[in-house]
Structure formats: structure tokens, C-alpha cells
Structure 1
Amino acid sequence: MSRIASMKGSPRSMRGLSLIELMVALVLGLLVVAAAIGIFLSNRQAYRATESVGRIQENARMAFELMARDVREAGGNACNSSNNMSVINVLNNPTARWWSNWGRTPANAALGSALRGFGGGEVVPAIAVGGGQTQRIANTQALVVMSGGERSVNVVSHVPGTQTFTVQNANHGFQTGDVLLACGQDADVVSLASVQDTDVGTVRFGAIFQMTNAGGGTSILHAVGGTPGNASANLGPNGIASTFGANATISRIHAAAWYIGNGAQGPTLYQALLTPNGVVTPQELIPGVSAMNLEYLLPGANNYVAANLVPAANWGDVLAVRMTLTLQSDESTGTDGQPIRRQLVQVASLRNRSL
């Protein structure tokens, strides 16, 4: 047999893959690819779920930190830490606004508290309810807190006749229309001693007023007028022209309203802040907060109660606030294809009220 002939194989040995073998190989390959794709998609969904949970937890941490900071400072000021110092409020019609309803009138009648909760059906003055952006979502709770702000300046002298405080330096940052809180020892103890009210005291008191001159100098004026304006230039109880002594302190009022509103991406936790001339500016802080439940602890109580169970006269006695936030992801990132929801709870105690 020639060499060429010997190199030729038999017909059976020279044949390729059959159609059936090829189809089996393709099916096996597709099964491997499908398994790999399934693992990839599962890992991707798990990653998105983990990322969403982490984002929710971070948002909750930020929300609780910011809210708890306001709650802890409610009613606080630079002069008194025991919540027993009378604060005379000389603003025009203070009960008409959530950010000014704090303290006592010049006639020494009690106004609202520096901390006030609102149930889902209650109206927060000057906070609109509706479907527009920044508006409060109907039937959601809200919380209002007020305190003396961190920025402050010491008083050198006070002349009630010219409605003028002279302060240590001009770099205080206050400006026309700012709502301020002056507090400290009264230079005219006789005038306070004549007030027949044991809740007023004879040494320290505070006064809420609006600054009526421009900033940039060492003078701070509290004349009648402005927006909303001062109803009286006299800062003492019973309408007397009491004089704050040297080393009294003036600070800008920090007033914040917390509520669930309509944000750019759905339900959002808002903080509305007071700015000069009574302008309230809502800030969109934490997206994805769909519900907020607030409960309050009163002295001698064993349980927290809802806002509607706190008597109107007892908001100044609240010792702590339990905050429950419901947060959800903005898309279907759960392993079940649904948005992830988490409910978290934190308690904040008021620093100037003892548990």
C-alpha cells in the first residue's frame, strides 16, 4: 500500500460532530452562561440592597442627630440651665406664628413653650399642608423647637430710654430684623422686686425682641415697629422699662419646625428655619422619610404619650421626646424587588429639664 493511501482514514474516523452532539454542547453552554448571569444578577441585587440599607441607616443617623440636637437645646439660653427663668416676649402678636409663641407677654401672661408637638390633624401656624413641594404632607406629625442660638455677644450697657444695647464688639453678625434673646442680671433690681409674681424672680430674666437697626456696629436697638415688629420697647415684666446689667448676653433665636413634606424625590424630612424679618425657610434634609411618630415624656409618667395627650399647659414640662422614623429606598432595591423599609427609634432628653 502506498504511503498516501496509508494516510487516509476510514470514513468513520474522519467524520465531525453530529447535530445532536452540537445541540447538547450548545445547551450545556447556555446553562453555564445562564447560571453565571443568574449569579451576577443576584449579587448585583444583593449589592444594591446592601447599599440601600446603608444609605437608609446613614440618613436615619443624620436625621436623629439633627433633630436630637434641636430637642436637647429647646428652651435653652446662655443664662439659665434649669428652665425656670421667665422670658418676656415683646413681639407683635406672638401666638400667630410657631416661631414666636414662646415666653410670657409684657403683661406676664404665659405664652407657648419652647417645645411643642403637633399631631397629624393639627395645624402648625404658617406651615402649609398640601401637595406642593416643601408643603407638609397631610396627617403627618410635626415638632417645633426654639432656643437661644449659639452665636452670642456680651452686653456692656443698656439704656432703656433710647432702646439701645451697647455690646462688646461689632462682629456679632446680627442684622436688621433678627429675632434676638437678651438674658442676664437686671441692673434695676428694685423694678423687678416690685413685680408680684414668684415665677418672675428678682435677679435674672430674658426678653425676646426684634433688632430694629442695621448691623455692623456695637449698638443693638429694640424700638417699636418692624416686621413682625416689637409691640413695646420696654423689655421688663408688666411693661416696665427694665435695664439689663453689664455682662448680660444677647443671642439670635434658633427656631426650627420639623415635619414630613413633599420633596423632589418623594416624602422628605424638612427643617424650616427662622431667618430675619420673620421669613421661614424650609430645608429639604433627609429624603425617603415617609413617616415620623413623636411621643413625649412628662414628669412622673412611666410611658411616652402622643401629642394630643399632652395638656396645652404642660408642654413646658416635657422631659424627653421619643422619635420614630420610617425610611424607605427610592427604588425597588430589595431582594424581593420591592423598596426597602426600615423603622428606627431614638430618644432625646431636654438638657435643661431633669428626668
Structure 2
Amino acid sequence: MKSLSLNRQMGLSLIELMVAMLISLILLGGVLQVFLSSKDMYRTNTAVARVQEAGRFATDFMAFDIRQAGYKGECLSDPLSHLDMGSATTDEKNAFSTSPAIQGWDNSKPVIFGAADSTREDTDAFIVKYAGDGKEFDPQGTNNAQTPSLGVEVKVDDEKGTGAYAGQIVLLGNSTGCDIFQNANNANASSFQRAGKNVDPGNEVPTADWSQSYQKKLTSYIFRSHTYYVRDNAGRLPSLVRKALTPSGNNVIFADEELVEGVIDMQVTYGLDQDGDRLADEYVKAGTNNLVATGTGDWDKVVSARISILAVSPEINVLEEPQTFVYPAAVGIERDDDYALYEDDGTVTIKNNRVAQVYTATVAIRNRLP
């Protein structure tokens, strides 16, 4: 019987172990490289997606309001105002008026109710006003022009009555006439009520008669007054903000609604119709061509608006080199801040290797289309 060999190998030699470790390190390095590349690609894709999302939402919000600017239902002229604007400033009167339907400020903060000590430097702002959320009613037969209350027939399946909250600014109208006032009744009531001066802004005291007795079918609208501007935020990216009329108790206030974070610049030009064909003949900045900051001038000739925004990603060090591109809407602006370097010729360099994108939309005002 043969004896077992005493020279059989038991384990690995040092050389074999070193070769195995070298192969393992090469494989691990390849896996690590794939992982890091995937991580970088994920961060880049996330940054691009967030910038695209910010740009899309910002332009959608503003485009919707601009399209509606000046809508007043069946009102062919400015409605009869019952609002108490006796002690109001020019800007406050403008904020509660249906005219001008759109108005802007060039590279300065909006002056509507002081909105905006935090407005971002060298960015534009604008306000749009229109009647929204139309609701049609049959009148109650007892209505007359002298009483402060106007009754309406509320359907049984209508859970909210008139739908207008106490304090909201309401526009009522039909083909005979229109009124704008501050409602005193709650949303479940079956009548509209002019409030007195115990609320802000309140209605005139004594109140004037309605423009009509409202014996015909009428439509109620909630008055929308929206001011858009870019706001600096402590410890985070700037954002696009809308200051909107909002009920607060029995009053109405202009409250900030933060819409989109990551918008660091907004520039707006306005399409002027100079020959009456309701088509834009030129695009100009606010404060020029008789587009006066107080709302006077030729704002009624504006038939469209071109908005350009610059959005950046929250993520830093996403790109290997800083983005540099031409931002035509910013020509003439020189600024060096935490996010970008602006040169006079419109060249912008984005800092901290963030992803950035310019979004531009030209929006026609539907009520002024041919």
C-alpha cells in the first residue's frame, strides 16, 4: 500500500497571497470608481432636475396670473368701488384697484405695502390683478340698490353659500353694472354684505348705493392682487415669492407665499401696443416708455410680458468648472454676490460650481388679445 505524500501543499504561499490581494485591490478600485462615478452622476442629475423643476414651476405660476390680468367678468369698465381708500397711499390704492391690470418695477423692490425689505438687489418685481373664481347666482327678489346687503339664491347642494369669506374683496357684476367691496358675511351666508370701517381696508362710511339693484342674474368673483418678487432668505437660497391678498379674521392682508426656492434673479419686459392692433410692437422695461412706477402712464397698452428667471441648484461642487453664460435680460447689471458674478455685458458666472439655468417665457394677456 502506497504511503501518503508528506509534501502536499497546506495553505497559500506569501507570493500567492500578495498576488490575490493585488487582484482584489484592482477589482475593488474598479468597483469604487464605478460607485463614485454613479454618485457624481446622481448628484448632477438631481441638481439639474431641481433647477428644471424650479424654472418650470416659477414660470407656470407667473404665466397663469399674467394671462388672467385685467379679467373682470362682464364689467366693460372699472367697477364702482366701495372700498375706503381715503387715507390710503397711492400704492395701496393701486393694489386694491382693477387698473392698471399689470404693473412692474425695474430692478427695485415693489412698493405695495412695503413688501420687501428683503427683496433681492437688482431684480424686477410686478403686480397683476384680476377677478377669479367666478360663481353665478340668481338674485333674491328683495334686493335694492340702497341696502348694504345683497341676497342670492343658494342651491341646496351648495355647501358654502356665496363662497366668499368675511374680509375678502369681492367683485359683483353683470351686463348692467359692477361693484367691488369688502365682504362682511361668511362663506356659508346666502347674501353679500358690505362691511363698515371696523376692518381693513373696510368700505366707505356712509356706504354708497350699489351700481344697480341686481334684479338679474349676477356673478361674484374674488379679487386677486398678486405681487411677484425675488426674496433673499437667511441661511438658504433666495426664492420667488408672491404677495397675495389673503383673508385674516375679518380683515384682508397681503401675505407672502413662498413659491419656489432657488430663483436668484428675475427680469421682466413688457410688450407695448403702440398702434392699437393689440399686438406688441416693442418690449421695454418698467419705468421707460411712460410705464410709470406709480401705475400711471401707458400700462393699459401692455399686451404681454416677457419674464426671464435664473435658477440655481442647492447642491454645490456639482460641476468641474463654474458655469459661464450670457444672460441677455441682465445686460447693464453689475453685481457680485454669493451666487453669481454679473458683468455689464450680460455675462454671468455661477459660483460654487452649482448648476444654473435661465428660463424665459413670453405671456400674452388674454383680455387684450386681438
Q: Quick check: TM above 0.5?
A: yes
Structure-2 residue corresponding to 1:172: 162
The normalised TM-score by structure 2 is 0.74
How far, CA to CA, are the matches of 2:50 and 2:201 in structure 1? 41
What is the DSSP-based 3-state SS (H/G/I as helix, E as strand, rest coil) of the residue aligned with 2:57?
Answer: helix
Matched, 1:65 2:60: yes
Task: List alignment gaps of at least 5 residues for structure 1.
Answer: 104-111, 187-204
What is the DSSP-based 3-state SS (H/G/I as helix, E as strand, rest coil) of the residue aligned with 1:56?
Answer: helix
Structure-2 residue corresponding to 1:231: 204
Give 2:42's match in structure 1, choosing from 36, 41, 47.
47
**Any residues of structure 2 matched to 1:1-355 within 5 Å, and which?**
7=5, 17=13, 23=18, 25-80=20-75, 85-93=77-85, 95-97=90-92, 100-103=95-98, 112-130=99-117, 135-154=118-137, 156=139, 158-169=143-154, 171-186=161-176, 205-222=177-194, 224-225=196-197, 226-231=199-204, 233-234=207-208, 242-263=212-233, 265-276=236-247, 277-300=251-274, 301-310=280-289, 311-312=291-292, 313-332=297-316, 334-336=318-320, 338-354=353-369
Q: Is the 8 A contact 1:143 1:259 kept in 2?
A: yes
Indicate how the Cα distance of structure 1 residues 91 and 180 shifts in structure 2: closer, same or farther if over 3 A, else same: same
CA displacement at 1:248 relative to structure 2:
2.9
Task: List alignment gaps of at least 5 residues for structure 2.
Answer: 155-159, 275-279, 322-352
Query: What is the root-mean-square deviation in Å for CA atoms of aligned residues?
Result: 3.0
How far, CA to CA, are the matches of 1:98 and 1:267 in structure 2? 29
Deviations 1:70-124 (A, max 9, x none): 11111102215xxx52333332226342773424xxxxxxxx4121112222442
Deviations 1:299-325 (A, max 9, x none): 045432222225231112211111112
Query: Which amino acid counterpart does residue 163 of structure 1 have in structure 2?
Result: P
Q: Is the 8 A contact 2:95 2:112 kept in 1?
A: no
What is the DSSP-based 3-state SS (H/G/I as helix, E as strand, rest coil) of the residue aligned with 1:63?
Answer: helix
What is the DSSP-based 3-state SS (H/G/I as helix, E as strand, rest coil) of the residue aligned with 1:231?
Answer: coil
Deviations 1:278-298 (A, max 9, x none): 212212221111111111101
The normalised TM-score by structure 1 is 0.77
CA displacement at 1:24 relative to structure 2:
5.4
Is the helix fraction higher in 1 or 2?
1
CA displacement at 1:22 relative to structure 2:
5.0
What is the DSSP-based 3-state SS (H/G/I as helix, E as strand, rest coil) of the residue aligned with 1:31?
Answer: helix
What is the DSSP-based 3-state SS (H/G/I as helix, E as strand, rest coil) of the residue aligned with 1:57?
Answer: helix
What is the DSSP-based 3-state SS (H/G/I as helix, E as strand, rest coil) of the residue aligned with 1:79?
Answer: coil
Q: Is the 8 A contact 2:74 2:173 kept in 1?
A: yes
Indicate how the Cα distance of structure 1 residues 245 and 267 shifts in structure 2: closer, same or farther if over 3 A, else same: same
What is the DSSP-based 3-state SS (H/G/I as helix, E as strand, rest coil) of the residue aligned with 2:298?
Answer: helix
CA displacement at 1:252 relative to structure 2:
1.3
Higher Cα radius of gyration: 1
Indicate how the Cα distance of structure 1 residues 63 and 17 shifts in structure 2: closer, same or farther if over 3 A, else same: same
How far, CA to CA, are the matches of 2:219 and 2:11 in structure 1? 101
Instruction: Give the number of equivalent residue pairs.
Output: 313
